[in-house]
Amino acid sequence: MTDLAIETSGLTKIYGDTRAVDGIDLAIPRGGVHGFLGPNGAGKTTTIRMLATLIRPDAGSARVLGHDIVHASDEVRSRVALTGQFASVDEDLSGRENLRLLAKLYGFRGAGATRRADELLGAFGLEGAADRQVKKYSGGMRRRIDIAASLVVTPELLFLDEPTTGLDPRSRIEVWDIVRALVAHGTTVMLTTQYLDEADQLAGRISVIDQGRIIAEGASSELKASVGSGSLHVRVMHRADLAAVREILVRELGVEVETTTDPHGLVAALEDRSGVTRALSSLEAAKLELAQFALGQPTLDEVFLALTGHTADGGDSPDGQPTDEEVAA
């Protein structure tokens, strides 16, 4: 039992009429990164908040590192840490003061607390900003101090709630490197994200959550395999050709061909790859020019679409509000 990092059964949280988390069953082993993937408002944050003992479930049960989250919440709290949109640091204080504060709360005394704070500031490349107020930090620095704050005492399990939302690409890669370093050290990481490439990059196993329910689970390769053997992406040269190209592809491939957010693009999920060459020849014969085409493993985006019927970033809410919904939920 205790070799599981997280084990839940029928975990449920209800806000008003909304079943924010609607009976989730998880069995996540120790070690590595477990991805928790879903669009805004899917229930990721609410689940994590329950597992980290910040809110209480309305039904179901959960054990984290072998301890019940309701009846042994203190045991859970002493073994896990969390970082995310909701568990941050004090913006009014400097980076060093924040880390010293947490070090003291974990029981380090005076000089010990300062030493631990400086160690972490160094490791996260924040020495230069140590005495600046956190509200003056850049997005990437802010995320680093948030993560550093979770590592004052090395946790057995770290919850990372959308650690790269709103970060520039370079800072994202920095955060990914930090996550890899944590995992290499033996910490189990549960990562929520709405970015499929992030789950793809970091997570060994992925749970896909939508509308409070787990709709799929597995390694990223398994999830991809579940939607067929890959997909064909084409981009037409002339937009006027789109319908004609689509018609030929449907005929030759024998599968449905979807339009994409790109007005010139089409994508077809393939049962097998045999028809592709024939389809391309037919297009050439019909003098329909393509700007590009690609045959590949399905992306997690396509997996998501196939599983939920809507795209990951579209969801049922208009985009642009990355986190508010879940926080308010």
Per CB under 8 A, contacts with other proteins among 127-186 are 127-129, 133, 141, 144, 149, 151, 153-154, 173-174, 177-178, 180-185
Interaction of residue 116 with other proteins, rule CB under 8 A: yes
Interaction of residue 293 with other proteins, rule CB under 8 A: no
Instruction: Give the CA count within 13 Å in the CB-facing half-sphere of 136.
Output: 11
Interaction of residue 14 with other proteins, rule CB under 8 A: no
In the list 2, 9, 59, 105, the residue contacting other proteins (rule: CB under 8 A) is 105
Smallest gap, in angstroms, from Cβ of residue 305 to other proteins? 29
Per CB under 8 A, contacts with other proteins among 53-92 are 53-56, 74, 77-78, 80-82, 85-92
Smallest gap, in angstroms, from Cβ of residue 97 to other proteins? 6
In the list 3, 17, 109, 287, the residue contacting other proteins (rule: CB under 8 A) is 109
Tokens 């019909």 -> residue: 286
Smallest gap, in angstroms, from Cβ of residue 39 to other proteins? 21
**Residue 143 CB contacts under 8 Å (≥ 6 apart), including other chains:** 163, 164, 167, 171, 175
In the list 6, 62, 69, 102, the residue contacting other proteins (rule: CB under 8 A) is 102
- Give the full edge-to-edge strand order of the sheet including 188-193: 80-84, 157-161, 188-193, 33-37, 205-210, 213-219
Interaction of residue 187 with other proteins, rule CB under 8 A: yes
Nearer to other proteins, 117 or 280 (CB): 117
Smallest gap, in angstroms, from Cβ of residue 49 to other proteins? 8
Residue pair 193/199 in contact (Cβ under 8 Å)? The answer is yes
> Can you read off the two tokens belonging to residue 51?
């597992």
Interaction of residue 123 with other proteins, rule CB under 8 A: yes
Best CA proximity match to 268, nearest among 241, 306, 239: 306
Interaction of residue 18 with other proteins, rule CB under 8 A: no
Region for 166 from its dihedrals, namely left if φ exceeds 0, alpha if ψ lies in -120 to 50, beta otherwise: left
Nearer to other proteins, 181 or 286 (CB): 181
Smallest gap, in angstroms, from Cβ of residue 318 to other proteins? 23
Which residues of the chain form contacts with other proteins (CB under 8 A)?
49, 52-56, 74, 77-78, 80-82, 85-94, 97, 101-102, 104-109, 112, 116, 119-120, 122-129, 133, 141, 144, 149, 151, 153-154, 173-174, 177-178, 180-185, 187
